[in-house]
Amino acid sequence: MKTIWKVIIIIIIVGLILSVIGFATGASRTLYLDRRGVHIGSGTINVIEETNLAPFTSINVDVGFSNIEFHNSDMFGINLSGEDIEWQWTLEDGVLSITHDKNTRWQIVNLSFIGDFRNHVRIYLPENSELDIVNIKTSSGDITLGRIQANQLEVNNSFGNVDLNDLTIGHMQVTLSSGRFTGVRLLAQNLIYTNRFGDGRFQAVRADSLSVDSGSGLVQFTNCEFGEAVITNNFGDITATGLNMQKSNIRANSGAIKITGDLSGETIMHAGFGDIDLTMIRAKEDFSYDISVRFGSINFDGERMRDQTALVSGSVQENHLKLSASSGDIKVSFGK
């Protein structure tokens, strides 16, 4: 029995090696599943390019195994390129919709990383175009958007990175299953960010309300400003410099919290397994506080509280720190 399994494994490995060699030497890099079974694609490259389109105010893209990019241009247009893809697109009543036939064929393997070709959806529109609703979805590929304004933006990426730059959005929702997120110079009323496996980096981001739910990875903020924020990271650190928040609830279940900035209103922080290091630019007198550790120590304004697991001020002020750690140290520093 062991010999049979060894032979099966060897056959599978040899098959994969031969497939990769075949892909690398010019064969199709895609594997499909349809009603007839599993088969290798034809390798046919389908390209659709349309320029000087009528202006559109809403965009709906739902594709698989494709990079999606927005580019600035002096006119509206699209460029769709894909291997063994039957593109479908419409522009009706100001709504641009792009997809491909998913009902009869499912792409289950794409080795586009071999060679220079990659399926692409490119959308061209004037800089700072004012849009209504933008929905972007891909099952595997990178999403890059920049320099647009929209009432609503929803980005969904299963396996790939998302880069958003210079956006002004009313309601923004970004959902990743596995990939890196980078947001630079974003302005939103509501920002909802979810990432199961991947880092999230926010730079010069402003939002009235922020919701972050990270499964595993770093969550990092640089020079960001939020009204009300709820930030949760299950397995990873939460770090911030130059952070300004008026009300916040921050939780790291297994990871450290390290923040430098101006936190006003009620600030709630909890670290399950990790340290809290909080550096405030305001003076100690501006805050009331309730600090507790279960297995760890407290360092408050440069003084270590030996053998003390709780530190509570008098009456609760407008700016209140409620900090707790189950297994880790808490350090709080203040400005002068």
- Phi, psi at residue 273, to the nearest 5°? -130, 85
Q: What tokens appear for 235 in the block?
A: 């397995």
Residue at token pair 């979810």: 194
- pLDDT score at 171: 98
Q: What tokens appear for 318 in the block?
A: 């407008």
CATH for the stretch 45-335: 2.160.20
Residue partners of 30: CB distance under 8 A and separation at least 6: 40, 41, 43, 65, 83, 84, 107, 109, 110, 111, 112
**What percentage of the chain exceeds 70 in pLDDT?**
82
- pLDDT score at 8: 54
- Tens digits of residue pLDDT in 66-101: 999 999 999 999 999 988 788 999 999 999 999 987
- pLDDT score at 32: 52
Residue with more model confidence, 117 or 160 = 160
- pLDDT score at 23: 47
- pLDDT score at 25: 47
Within 10 angstroms of residue 51's Cβ, the number of other Cβ atoms is 11
* Residue pair 320/287 in contact by the 8 Å Cβ criterion: yes
* Residue pair 137/156 in contact by the 8 Å Cβ criterion: yes
Residue 115: band (very low, low, confident or very high) from pLDDT cuts 50, 70, 90: very low
Task: Give me Rg for the CA atoms of the chain.
Answer: 25
Evaluate if residue 110 carries a pLDDT over 60. Answer: no
- Tens digits of residue pLDDT in 289-301: 999 999 999 999 9
* Residue pair 257/240 in contact by the 8 Å Cβ criterion: no
Q: Where in the chain is the domain with CATH 2.160.20?
A: 45-335
Evaluate if residue 163 carries a pLDDT over 60. Answer: yes
CA gap 207, 61 in Å, rounded: 25
Mean pLDDT of 173-187: 97
Bridge pairing between strands 76-83 and 45-53: antiparallel
Bridge pairing between strands 219-222 and 200-216: parallel
* Residue pair 198/178 in contact by the 8 Å Cβ criterion: yes
Q: What tokens appear for 7 in the block?
A: 């032979």
Mean pLDDT of 24-40: 53
Nearest to 321 by CA among 251, 267, 250: 267
- Tens digits of residue pLDDT in 213-242: 999 999 999 999 999 999 999 999 999 999
Mean pLDDT of 319-327: 96
